[in-house]
Amino acid sequence: MYRNMLLYPSPRLNNKQKQYLKDISILNQISYKLSLDSKSYFVITINILDQVINVEQFCFNSKGQLYSIFFKGKTAKLLCHTILNSNHINILLSNQHVAYLARELVKSELGILFNQQYIQD
């Protein structure tokens, strides 16, 4: 989402905004080094027309069978709260995975607000 803006920054961006984009680019590089949980993963998509963030959590049960849980919301904050406090989830997420999820949800919300494509890292 931010890569193209960094390569071709708008001349209308001030220095603080340009620095922010550089910092985000560095965070994106660091995210490739994260080790996420092996029992669960998330797929995040957005619907710009409906202004909705869709999250599907894929989990493996004790028998190794895959199942999914679907979440839908308008804001990253609401979705984080719903996902992390859901009684349906019996999988404990690592702190790194929670931080990654929160960051991706904020990026997806920004994609909706700025009418831009969201690409999950």
Residues in the chain: 121
Q: What is the pLDDT of residue 5?
A: 47
Examine the pLDDT at 1 and tell me if it is beyond 60: no
Phi then psi for residue 47, to 5 deg, are -120, 100
59 vs 30: which has the higher pLDDT: 59
Q: What is the 3-state secondary structure (H, E, C) of the chain?
A: CCHHHHHCCCCCCCHHHHHHHHHHHHHHHHHCCCCCCCCEEEEEEEECCCCEEEEEEEEECCCCCEEEEEEEECCHHHHHHHHHCCCCCCCCCCHHHHHHHHHHHHHHHHHHHCCCCCCCC
31 band by pLDDT with thresholds 50, 70 and 90: low
Give yes or no for a contact between 113 and 53, defined as CB atoms under 8 angstroms apart. Answer: no
Examine the pLDDT at 96 and tell me if it is beyond 50: yes
Examine the pLDDT at 92 and tell me if it is beyond 80: no
Classify burial at 1, counting beta carbons within 10 Å of its beta carbon; exposed 0-12, middle 13-18, buried 19 or more.
middle
Examine the pLDDT at 19 and tell me if it is beyond 50: yes
